[in-house]
Structure 1
Amino acid sequence: MGPAASHCASCLQCVGVFDGHQGALTAALAAQHMPQLLHSALLGRALASSADTRRLPDARGGAGSAALSAFEAAVAAAFLSFDRWWRDARCDPALTQHGWDESGATALVGLVAGDTLTVGNAGDGAALLARGGRAHRLSEEHRAGSNAAELERVLSAGGRVVTLWPGAAARVAGSTGPASSWASMVTRSLGDFAFKHPHPILSPEPALRSVALTPSDSLLLVATDGVTDVLPDDDALAIAVDAVERGRQVTDDGAALARAAAAAVARSALVWGSDDNVTAAVMLFDWTAHESL
């Protein structure tokens, strides 16, 4: 569940969700290490290599994108640093059950520094900002069936897009061999190295977006596709906001309110028939604390 965040010049808060597939280890380790990787990147101790730095603007929206902010660069560096470390560590028998791990994970991180919110995501998790009572999606869905730019990138990298049964969603398969029962729904992820070598069909580079927060922003909801595939964005945020408002009648503990909001969203997704992994986290923005400084 996500922490509550008060606003001040020195505040640094992060929240994230990591949705595993073909095993849970990539997601678990990414969740464990991502806060420290973000912190290190912001301090300049784990900056991306010069080759990665040249690629990072492409993660924001293609050639010609504006230069990355320090916060966007830190989020991108954290994703790439984890993926490079995990490429080798997945073969460490001290970490893996069988001395080898083939799992992957979508990843979505929201980083708040002062009044700036930066979101980075690889995969199909969603970051929803409650602004003026409406949902504003800050993440990008990396699916071959719904993202034309990602489909083109996958095909250019040598990948194939397949449907495993009539009416099924498009999935990414490797460049050679028959399409197996495991083909990736997403086009970007952490781990999934069978799809990254020898050709980088799946990418760990996050899509990035930064926004300046204002007092009309009340909370950030981050959720896996098990939530957003069954709950429209406005409905998911309405559930979270309602849970916070009801919770304020009994407590002013921001962390407790954030947990209650996330739990309400997750419960609703299950009620509405989600059969996928369901995870949600909420970060609250405390403008009263901000104004009192």
Structure 2
Amino acid sequence: MGKRKDSIEFDKDQIVMARRLDQSISKTAALVGCSRSAVVSNYQKGWPVSSDSTDETKMGAFLDKPKMEKFNEHGEGNGVRYGLSSMQGWRVEMEDAHTAVIGLPHGLNTWAFFAVYDGHAGSQVARYCCEHLLEHITSNPDFSGGGPGGGSEVSHPEPSVESVKNGIRTGFLQIDEHMRAMSERKHSADRSGSTAVGIMISPSHFYFINCGDSRALLSRGGRVHFFTQDHKPNNPLEKERIQNAGGAVMIQRVNGSLAVSRALGDFDYKCVHGKGPTEQLVSPEPEVYEIERSDAEDEFVVLACDGIWDVMTNEELCDYVRSRLEVTEDLETVCNEIVDTCLYKGSRDNMSVVLVCFPGAPKINPEAVKREAELDKYLQNKVEGGASKKANK
């Protein structure tokens, strides 16, 4: 039996809402006389749209309505442009953090570094890492940024690939040990931890960095060329390390509790005597992948926490970003649309995404812009029609 026509139109509505949710929420809220939060609840859960209370009752680890205010940032330099967006969403606390730096210290003026940190059990570790991890990486001798302590501000040869990879690894281990020492000195009760996913960009290479279950992907030549691997407790190598440290993987979690097998912080899982820092139940060691740059084909890199990846596949997000770059050059807008789309698709977590574009990224396409205008008009007509029906009841 074929679909009814009104059923097909409803599906088209859903697609349009997902693509243009941020713009349509305000229109809908104004027309039906309620808050933006109520509109999102209606789209996502099928609840009736009505005026909602300002009370933010906590429902376990979640609020009764999402916090949709976004933090945005953008910049450009060294041949790259970036935009980012983060939203607390349904979670009681915002535990994500990020780093975006073009022109690195210690003479690495032509380099850049971007990272997303997804905190858990608190935001302290994520916040500390976003402010200090880069310095721990570039200033340690293993990084060999050019001279003692990682280099000076004068010109120097680019560090070797192996030096950069070793320096990144050393930087992660150093900052983890530094945070542990600070916690012990202060007798802190903080038990938070954080994943970290990032990219260090040199003139010749991309260095993808991952510790945990946030993820990065590279779009090259119109498709997903590379993506990092999530560190989950049920991965065979991760599970072997956990078991060798006397732990167990239950319900796909470390000792039935923690859903990631590598992270910064989480010191309750790093106290097995006789085991080194990378042999503990939870390891702070990142995986680092180097990829030679291709100026002709490199399009963009996406860094995002699992609040994004829980509801979008690598290919879906890559295709979505490419389609949006054909209608706007505003990278903040693209990131906002990603976050709103993931909220609409059911993500209940904090959400953070960083989009880094290169000269080969998709350009404005007049045909795509025309189709976008038609979708906007269609959406506006549907919203106004719905409001008229409501008023006439």
**How high is the TM-score relative to the length of structure 2?**
0.57
- Identify if the C-alpha distance between structure 1 residues 46 and 228 changes in structure 2 by more than 3 Å, giving closer, same or farther: same
Partner Cα separation in structure 2 for residue 244 and residue 34 of structure 1: 31
Task: Tell me which residue corresponds to 2:78.
Answer: 6
Task: Tell me which residue corresponds to 1:87.
Answer: 180
The letter of the residue matching 2:340 is: R
Pairing 1:217–2:328 present: no
Gaps of 5+ in 1: 48-66, 164-169, 174-178, 249-256, 289-293
Task: Tell me which residue corresponds to 1:204.
Answer: 284
Q: Alpha-carbon deviation of 1:148?
A: 1.5
Report if aligned partners of 2:297, 2:360 keep a CA contact under 8 Å in 1: no
Report if aligned partners of 1:7, 1:287 keep a CA contact under 8 Å in 2: no
Q: Alpha-carbon deviation of 1:4?
A: 4.1
Partner Cα separation in structure 2 for residue 239 and residue 192 of structure 1: 34
Sequence identity of aligned pairs in percent?
27
> Secondary structure of 1:90's partner?
helix
Root mean square deviation of aligned Cα: 2.5
Instruction: Give the stretch that moved more between structures: 6-15 or 75-84.
Output: 6-15
- Identify if the C-alpha distance between structure 1 residues 219 and 101 changes in structure 2 by more than 3 Å, giving closer, same or farther: same
> Secondary structure of 2:341's partner?
helix
1:149 corresponds to which of 218, 223, 237:
237
- Identify if the C-alpha distance between structure 1 residues 155 and 5 changes in structure 2 by more than 3 Å, giving closer, same or farther: farther
Instruction: Give the stretch that moved more between structures: 70-79 or 220-229.
Output: 70-79
Q: 1:116-136: CA deviations, max 9, x gaps? A: 000111100111101111123
The letter of the residue matching 2:351 is: V
Task: Tell me which residue corresponds to 1:77.
Answer: 170
Q: 1:171-195: CA deviations, max 9, x gaps? A: 001xxxxx5xxx1101000000000
Q: 1:149-174: CA deviations, max 9, x gaps? A: 111121112111112xxxxxx1001x
Report if aligned partners of 2:78, 2:111 keep a CA contact under 8 Å in 1: no
Partner Cα separation in structure 2 for residue 211 and residue 260 of structure 1: 28
Q: Alpha-carbon deviation of 1:90?
A: 2.3
Partner Cα separation in structure 1 for residue 233 and residue 76 of structure 2: 34
1:1-293 to structure 2, matched below 5 A, reads 3-4=75-76, 6-7=78-79, 11-41=110-140, 42=143, 43=145, 45=149, 69-91=162-184, 93=186, 99-145=188-234, 147-163=235-251, 170-173=252-255, 183-199=257-273, 200-214=280-294, 215-248=296-329, 257-286=330-359
Report if aligned partners of 1:17, 1:223 keep a CA contact under 8 Å in 2: yes
- Identify if the C-alpha distance between structure 1 residues 160 and 3 changes in structure 2 by more than 3 Å, giving closer, same or farther: farther
> Secondary structure of 2:149's partner?
coil
> Secondary structure of 1:119's partner?
strand
The letter of the residue matching 2:124 is: L
Partner Cα separation in structure 2 for residue 72 and residue 237 of structure 1: 26
> Secondary structure of 1:281's partner?
strand
Q: How many residues align?
A: 242
Q: Alpha-carbon deviation of 1:89?
A: 1.4
The letter of the residue matching 1:216 is: E
Partner Cα separation in structure 2 for residue 267 and residue 220 of structure 1: 19
Partner Cα separation in structure 2 for residue 22 and residue 270 of structure 1: 22
The letter of the residue matching 2:266 is: D
- Identify if the C-alpha distance between structure 1 residues 213 and 3 changes in structure 2 by more than 3 Å, giving closer, same or farther: farther
- Identify if the C-alpha distance between structure 1 residues 4 and 69 changes in structure 2 by more than 3 Å, giving closer, same or farther: farther
Gaps of 5+ in 2: 1-72, 81-107, 152-159, 274-279, 362-393
- Identify if the C-alpha distance between structure 1 residues 14 and 31 changes in structure 2 by more than 3 Å, giving closer, same or farther: same
Partner Cα separation in structure 2 for residue 2 and residue 121 of structure 1: 23
> Secondary structure of 2:342's partner?
helix
**How high is the TM-score relative to the length of structure 1?**
0.75
Q: Alpha-carbon deviation of 1:35?
A: 2.3
